């Protein structure tokens, strides 16, 4: 890994060319670069069973993976965000209910997504959108708004 990777207290992003190293051995890669072991153990722990069925009924699904989590909106919910009828508090509540380990940052994620109506509208192809966040991005809440990039379903 080279100097373009910033890890530890000031983690804001992982350079594209370094993502392979993180994906192959995230625990040891982050430890090597100074991320506190107690924080990392929590972030890289296998996800707990989620309440994904309850979240799916609202047009939103939240899926935890080893690399992070995916937040997926159907077209109806996506249109609600674009028009402003679905707000950040609804998104935050769904995230916190579906994945309790994300509750501390659910409000930041929900608020940031609610403010992204224009970006979401630009990428939506009539099938909804989704967002992928890795655990390193979640570990540094100030970086979350910049990391939330809508992707067409």
Token couple for 21: 């190293």
Question: pLDDT (tens digit, 0 to 9) for every residue of the chain, 153 residues total?
Answer: 433 433 443 334 555 566 666 666 766 776 776 766 766 665 555 555 444 434 455 788 888 888 888 889 999 999 988 988 877 888 888 888 888 888 888 888 888 888 888 899 999 999 999 999 888 888 877 777 888 888 999
- Number of domains the chain contains: 2
**Strands, E assignment, 6-128:** 60-64, 68-73
Task: Pick the closest to residue 130 from 118, 113, 115 (CA basis).
Answer: 113
What is the span of the domain harbouring residue 39? 1-45
Q: Clarify whether residues 5 and 66 are in a common domain.
A: no
């Amino acid at each position: 890994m080279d100097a373009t990777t910033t890890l530890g207290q000031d983690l804001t992003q992982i350079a594209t060319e370094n993502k392979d190293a993180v994906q192959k051995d995230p625990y040891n890669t982050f430890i090597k670069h100074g991320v506190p072991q107690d924080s990392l153990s929590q972030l890289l722990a296998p996800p707990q069973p989620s309440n994904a069925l309850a979240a799916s009924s609202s047009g939103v699904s939240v899926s935890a993976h080893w690399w992070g989590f995916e937040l997926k909106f159907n077209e109806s919910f996506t249109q609600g965000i674009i028009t402003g009828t679905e707000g950040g508090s609804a998104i935050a509540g769904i995230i916190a209910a579906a994945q309790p380990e994300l509750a501390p940052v659910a409000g930041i994620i929900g608020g940031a997504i609610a403010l992204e109506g224009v970006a979401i509208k630009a990428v939506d192809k009539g099938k909804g959108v989704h967002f992928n966040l890795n655990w390193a991005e979640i570990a540094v809440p100030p970086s979350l708004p910049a990391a939330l990039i809508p992707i067409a379903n």
